[in-house]
Amino acid sequence: MNSLRVAVISTPRSGNTWVRSVLGDILKLEQLAVHNYAELKSIPDRAIVQVHWYREPGFQRFLRDYGFKTLVLARHPLDVLVSVLNFIRHEPLTARWLEGNADIPPSLVGQPPTSKEFLRYATSWGAENLLSISYQWWHDADAVKVRYEQLVQQPPQTLLQLAQMFDPAARDQGVIGRYDLPFFQNLPNRHGWQGRPGLWRELIVYVDARNIYNRHRRLFEVMNYSVRPYLLSRASALRRWNELTAEHQLLL
């Protein structure tokens, strides 16, 4: 087989593990997931690497030197933040995202999206760092780009088309169906949760969503995500959060 190296570089909770798993199997690539590209000491000729890292000269040089093709995923920032809030309840290694520069405070674990702690984090420097990964790489003219929302809407077609961008001869052969939402929900760190675009509208009240939007306005605009007015009380949002987190526990 010909050499092929793909780097999946995006903000966490944007579908990175899903895409890496599917493409890795379809394209017969060795799968590697690291927190820092400096951990990659020996890279096979055919590999797919998942890493959350800045678009900075050292990393860009590393990718060029090893002949990587870059894949970037985008997801609505508010869906990302809600998903992060759920995921940190189960995965302590989130502390290593950006080697700590995501700056997720321990006090955030267990808090709902209606809390002052969530809003404080969502408008913080750490959240800016976290959300900016996809934003930075979205500016890479050579990167393959795909939206999480499109992946969820048409998973078989979109994932196969994505694989064929790296190898026109790629075929599914049942791989995509194997990596469904229950597969990820049943991983030890409960990696899958709801997998539903727009969930943030059920969990974040409009005034908070707008404050987060205003804090990260440039990122929202460049990535073409919006926050339009909607009705949701804080009590209803909290009740919905409790329902969804309880359902997640029952699934497991």
By the 8 A CB rule, do 144 and 74 touch? Answer: no
3-class secondary structure, 183:
helix
Same-domain check for residues 194 and 127: yes
Residue 250 has pLDDT above 70, yes or no: no
Low-confidence winner among 138-142, 188-192, 193-197, 237-241 (lowest mean pLDDT): 188-192
How does DSSP classify residue 95? G
Work out whether strand 30-33 and strand 4-9 pair parallel, antiparallel, or are unpaired. Answer: unpaired
Same-domain check for residues 139 and 119: no
Domain count, the chain: 2
CA gyration radius for the chain?
18
Same-domain check for residues 231 and 163: no
Q: Given pLDDT bands bounded at 50, 70 and 90, which one contains residue 31?
A: very high
The tokens for 129 are 């760092």
pLDDT tens per residue across span 129-142: 999 999 999 999 99
Cβ neighbors of 84 (< 8 A, separation 6 or more) are 12, 13, 94, 104, 130
The C-alpha atoms of residue 142 and residue 140 are separated, in whole angstroms, by 5
Domain boundary among the residues 184, 206, 222 is at 184
pLDDT tens per residue across span 199-227: 999 999 999 999 999 999 999 999 999 99
Same-domain check for residues 54 and 84: no
- What is residue 252's predicted lDDT score, i.e. its pLDDT? 46
| CA–CA distances in Å: residue 203 to residues 34, 84, 176, 220 | 31, 13, 29, 19
Q: Give the residue numbers spanning the domain of 211.
A: 77-131+188-251
By the 8 A CB rule, do 234 and 205 touch? Answer: yes
**Which residue type is seen at 216?**
H
Is 0.75 topped by the overall pTM? Answer: yes
pLDDT tens per residue across span 95-142: 999 999 999 999 999 999 999 999 999 999 999 999 999 999 999 999
* Counts for the chain of helices (H) and strands (E), in that order: 12, 5
Same-domain check for residues 166 and 85: no
Q: Averaged over 20-34, what is the pLDDT?
A: 97
Residue 251 has pLDDT above 50, yes or no: no
CB-count exposure of residue 248 (10 Å: 0-12, 13-18, 19+): middle
Same-domain check for residues 16 and 126: no
Same-domain check for residues 87 and 165: no
Q: Given pLDDT bands bounded at 50, 70 and 90, which one contains residue 182?
A: confident
Q: Given pLDDT bands bounded at 50, 70 and 90, which one contains residue 168?
A: very high
Same-domain check for residues 71 and 86: no
CB-count exposure of residue 39 (10 Å: 0-12, 13-18, 19+): exposed
Mean pLDDT of the chain: 95
Same-domain check for residues 16 and 60: yes
- What is residue 248's predicted lDDT score, i.e. its pLDDT? 59
CATH number at residue 14: 3.40.50.300
